[in-house]
Amino acid sequence: MSDNKVNITDPVSGKSLDLPVHTGSCGDPVLDISKLHKELGYFTYDPGFSVTASCSSEITFIDGDQGILRYRGYPIEQLANHSSFIEVAYLLLYGDLPAPAEFRKFEHDITRHTMVHDKLNTFLKGFRYDSHPMAIMSGVVASLAGFYHDDFDIKDAEERDLTAKRLIAKMPTIAAAAYRHHVGWPTAYPRNSLNYTERFLDMMFSVPAEPYKINPVAARALDLLFILHADHEQNASTSTVRLVASTGANPYACISAGIAALWGPAHGGANEAVLDMLNEIGSVEHVGKFIAKAKDKNDPFRLMGFGHRVYKNFDPRAQLIRSACHDVLDDLGIKDPLLDLAMELEKIALEDDYFIERKLYPNVDFYSGIIYKALNIPTSMFTAMFAIARTSGWVAQWLEQSAQGGRIGRPRQLYTGVAERDYLPIDKR
Ligand code: CMC
């Protein structure tokens, strides 16, 4: 890490303190404030954790000003063009690209863990038919803790590895089952002869009445989206997973908490919200009205799929998805007016001072829904798709944290409530 220091002096007490500066392999240096309270009596205040590094990590690097995203050092563009989701999942978990035999073993292990205990299906069927898939997924994944708890030893690296594989393997099975529960179709079991994304499409759309033919364009498009959504350093859901994991909680409960955090429209839920927004806008003539709403401080409406806490120039994932969107629709022979609408919305927003000044650009969620729609995936499943992909990042981060050990995550606060008062019995109030 490094050895520079920043000296700060408290004007009140006159005491001064050297704060160590840590320099990572890339990115801005980080001030180590862990001794600040002990030495000077101050906490730091950073709502939304905009400038706080909560951990050190070797997994994913983002440079928001330059639009750089790398998994384990590999640029996202190279992975998107040459890799597969399963290879990326291996990379995230173990740090390097797999050799052929390692890849075969990993893919085999994932394939062998795709089934879920039949009792889990009973639990899933208890949900109302119209429950949101994310509600089902967070509930069902948390309930996996009930199946793998008593004999799980978090200190055993092999058991942690098995858990990581189980989670990556079972997530598509659970997501597809949530969808089938909604449409009233019988459970589809995973087919081991297929690869990860093909298997998911098969579990989503095959019915007992007739054979289902997987479209390779759809499978590849899905694989690309999974690669682009696989990890994104310490975002809200990953930080949630790490925080819950810091208590020593069961890993399935940790990932379930991540799913819950991802569901919000400011995070992964934005992909669903973008499609709803595009449908609500309806046609190009209404774009101006919605841009005006997004700029109006008295209107809670935001342009969904726009803006990012870290990217202030462009989101490299959005650029890749935008171009994939054209290719996928062309290859599938689909003409979707929502794509024209999205492009017009993007064009008008990017020329508008409000968006320019605030550095608001399309993010990963802006175009992904148009691809999902082209693959016949219903809007309510969009965030579940994100959850399937992000599970690889969550478990990689969980493995890293578990191996590092460390303390329970426990932020402090700036208390602004009543300082102290005496209790009054109810008849005296
Ligand atoms: N539409 C209109 N105004 C916006 C938008 C937007 N989408 N995003 C930010 N702003 C404005 C915001 O009102 C604020 O203006 P002002 O400075 O005048 O108060 C300024 O831009 C900065 O916004 P912020 O809320 O302080 O930024 P943040 O870093 O806290 O939030 C964000 C980032 C992604 C939550 C936010 O941009 C947003 O709500 N976007 C829409 C939801 C979305 O697309 N989320 C997906 C994010 S990418 C995928 C993922 O993380 O899962």
Cβ of 120 less than 6 Å from ligand 1: no
Length of the chain: 429
Q: Where are the beta strands (DSSP E) in 260-329?
A: none
Measured distance CA(87)–CA(107) in Å, rounded: 8
Q: Residue 263: in which H helix or E strand, if any?
A: helix 251-263
- Burial (CB < 10 A; 0-12, 13-18, 19+), residue 352, is middle
φ, ψ (nearest 5 deg) of residue 237: -75, -40
Nearest to 86 by CA among 113, 124, 66, 117: 113
Give the number of the atom of ligand 1 that is nearest the alpha carbon of residue 48: 30
Cβ of 390 less than 6 Å from ligand 1: no
Q: Return the residue whose CA atom lies nearest to atom 4 of ligand 1.
A: 302
Q: Return the residue whose CA atom lies nearest to atom 30 of ligand 1.
A: 309
Torsion of CA 95, 99, 104, 105, to 10 degrees: -60
How far does residue 307's CA lie from ligand 1's centre (Å)?
A: 5
Of all residues in the chain, what percent carry a pLDDT higher than 70? 99
How far does residue 363's CA lie from ligand 1's centre (Å)?
A: 10
Measured distance CA(187)–CA(291) in Å, rounded: 43
CB 67 within 8 A of CB 315: yes
Q: What is the mean pLDDT of residues 394-414?
A: 95
Measured distance CA(13)–CA(94) in Å, rounded: 48
Q: What is the pLDDT of residue 152?
A: 80
153 confidence band (pLDDT: 50, 70, 90): confident
Choosing from 297, 317, 360 the residue with most ligand 1 atoms within 8 A of its CB, the one to mutate for a pocket test is 360
Q: What is the pLDDT of residue 258?
A: 98
Q: Return the residue whose CA atom lies nearest to atom 2 of ligand 1.
A: 302
Which residues have a Cβ under 8 Å from the Cβ of 266 and sit 6 or more positions away? 236
Of all residues in the chain, what percent carry a pLDDT higher than 90? 93
How far does residue 92's CA lie from ligand 1's centre (Å)?
A: 28
Q: What is the pLDDT of residue 1?
A: 56
Cβ of 302 less than 6 Å from ligand 1: yes
Measured distance CA(312)–CA(388) in Å, rounded: 27
pTM for this model (two decimals): 0.95
422 catalytic per annotation: no
Q: Return the residue whose CA atom lies nearest to atom 34 of ligand 1.
A: 308
Rounded (to 5) percent helix, strand, coil in the chain? 55, 5, 40
Nearest to 221 by CA among 197, 245, 192, 194: 197
Average pLDDT value for the chain = 95
Cβ of 115 less than 6 Å from ligand 1: no
Cβ of 364 less than 6 Å from ligand 1: yes
What are the helix and strand counts (H, E) for the chain?
Answer: 18, 6
DSSP code per residue over 59-113 = SEEEETTTTEEEETTEEHHHHHHH--HHHHHHHHHHSSPPPHHHHHHHHHHHHHT
Nearest to 396 by CA among 270, 284, 258, 263: 258
Q: pLDDT tens digits, residue range 17-47?
A: 999 999 999 999 999 999 999 999 999 999 9
Q: Distance from CA of residue 290 to its chain's centroid?
A: 27
Does the pLDDT at position 151 exceed 80?
Answer: no
Q: pLDDT tens digits, residue range 221-235?
A: 999 999 999 999 999
How far does residue 308's CA lie from ligand 1's centre (Å)?
A: 6
Q: How many CB atoms lie within 10 A of CB 288?
A: 11
63 catalytic per annotation: no
Q: How many CB atoms lie within 10 A of CB 132?
A: 19
Q: Tell me the HSE value of 81 on the side-chain side, using a 13 A CA sphere.
A: 8
Catalytic residue selected from 10, 365, 422, 427: 365
Q: What is the pLDDT of residue 67?
A: 95
Cβ of 307 less than 6 Å from ligand 1: yes
Q: Return the residue whose CA atom lies nearest to atom 39 of ligand 1.
A: 266
Q: How many CB atoms lie within 10 A of CB 300?
A: 7
Measured distance CA(123)–CA(131) in Å, rounded: 13
Angular region, 268: left φ>0, alpha ψ -120 to 50, beta rest: alpha
> Minimum mean pLDDT among 10-19, 69-78, 200-209, 337-346: which range?
337-346
How far does residue 159's CA lie from ligand 1's centre (Å)?
A: 39
Which residues have a Cβ under 8 Å from the Cβ of 39 and sit 6 or more positions away? 15, 17
How far does residue 415's CA lie from ligand 1's centre (Å)?
A: 26
Show the CA angle centred on residue 92, arms to residues 91 and 95, nearest 5°: 60
CB 27 within 8 A of CB 51: no
How far does residue 306's CA lie from ligand 1's centre (Å)?
A: 7
Does the pLDDT at position 253 exceed 70?
Answer: yes
3-state secondary structure of 362: strand
Nearest to 175 by CA among 391, 398, 366: 391
Catalytic residue selected from 229, 308, 340, 353: 308
